[in-house]
Amino acid sequence: MVSDDFEEIKIGLEIHQQLNTNKLFCSCSSEMNEKNLIYEVRRRLRPVVSELGEFDRAAIFEFFRNREFVYRGYENECCLVDLDEEPPHEINRDALKIALEMAYNLGLYIPDELHIMRKLVLDGSAITSFQRTVLIGIGSSDFEKVKIKSLCLEEDAAKLEKEEKNLVYYSLSRLGIPLIEISTDPIISNPEESKEIAKRIGVEQGTVAVMLRRMEKNGLIKRIQDELDKRITRVYLTEKSENLLKNLSTVLREAEELLLSSLSDKEKQELKELLKKIQEDLKQRVGEYCPKEA
Ligand SMILES: [Zn+2]
């Protein structure tokens, strides 16, 4: 019985959030536009002995599957690092900063030294057969009643495009994009709870970080470090965004006038009341996730 099973099962979540900061170990774009295909490279997986003098069993198994991987590289979105023909560059500072900020905000313990480690990946989605990952924070506190186990900064895998017989096509544009991985302790006991928790800790945090970065790139905000507490960075609107806001409100007002020009004053009032009714109903349904009124 499903309901009984849920009493036994405990769910832990792994939440991934891509960062649009350029790639983690080279300066290729992380936009994933995939506009101009510039090359295709074919590779096979060949098992080699590890530093301990042993073959990895999974690698041997994959080798006998006799598959060939076709890596497709798009303009501005791949380079020799992505092809494993050049050593990785220094880690992307912006991605590292975002990961550290998130770990700090989640109240995690941040080790004194950060090490780049390797995780074996043998399905061809990592051209090197491993994924680089950095443990940024270890769980120690509860965030929004969720126990966070760890936060890692790692590389995203290549994107599977298609499979034809023994040929597997991957796009390199996603390979190496910084990925924040947040893992929770397995304490969640039903699907609803897991959904709610994912929403609280994963998506919103990461989205805000990426959004701010984009706005900064476009000159809409500036970040200034707090003079008294260096851990705090304050975000300010720039002159450009202030002007944009002024223009935006004028444009919105004009658009509104244009849209409502065919309605009489009475009809406008009716529309306002109907919209308000819908809003009230929505608020009831989505509860706490409804944006607070100013
Ligand atoms: Zn690259």
| C-alpha–C-alpha distance, residues 100 and 208, integer Å | 15
Q: What's the CA-to-centroid distance between 248 and ligand 1, angstroms?
A: 38
| C-alpha–C-alpha distance, residues 148 and 103, integer Å | 10
Q: What's the CA-to-centroid distance between 31 and ligand 1, angstroms?
A: 12
Q: Please tell me which residue, 214 or 101, carries the higher pLDDT value.
A: 101
The alpha carbon dihedral of 280, 281, 287, 288 has a sign of negative
Q: What's the CA-to-centroid distance between 80 and ligand 1, angstroms?
A: 6
Q: What's the CA-to-centroid distance between 24 and ligand 1, angstroms?
A: 9
Decide if pLDDT at 72 tops 60: yes
Q: What's the CA-to-centroid distance between 46 and ligand 1, angstroms?
A: 23
> What is this structure's pTM?
0.62
Q: Please list the alpha-helical segments (H only) found in 91-238.
A: 93-105, 191-198, 204-217
Instruction: Spell out the domain ranges in the chain.
Output: 2-236, 238-283
- The pLDDT of residue 4 is 46
Q: Where are the beta strands (DSSP E) in 197-251?
A: 221-225, 233-237
Q: What's the CA-to-centroid distance between 62 and ligand 1, angstroms?
A: 26
Q: What's the CA-to-centroid distance between 210 and ligand 1, angstroms?
A: 20
| C-alpha–C-alpha distance, residues 245 and 248, integer Å | 5
Q: What's the CA-to-centroid distance between 29 and ligand 1, angstroms?
A: 8
Decide if pLDDT at 271 tops 90: no
Contact between 89 and 81 under an 8 Å Cβ cutoff? The reply is yes
- pLDDT tens-digit profile of 180-217? 998 887 766 666 666 666 666 655 545 566 777 878 88
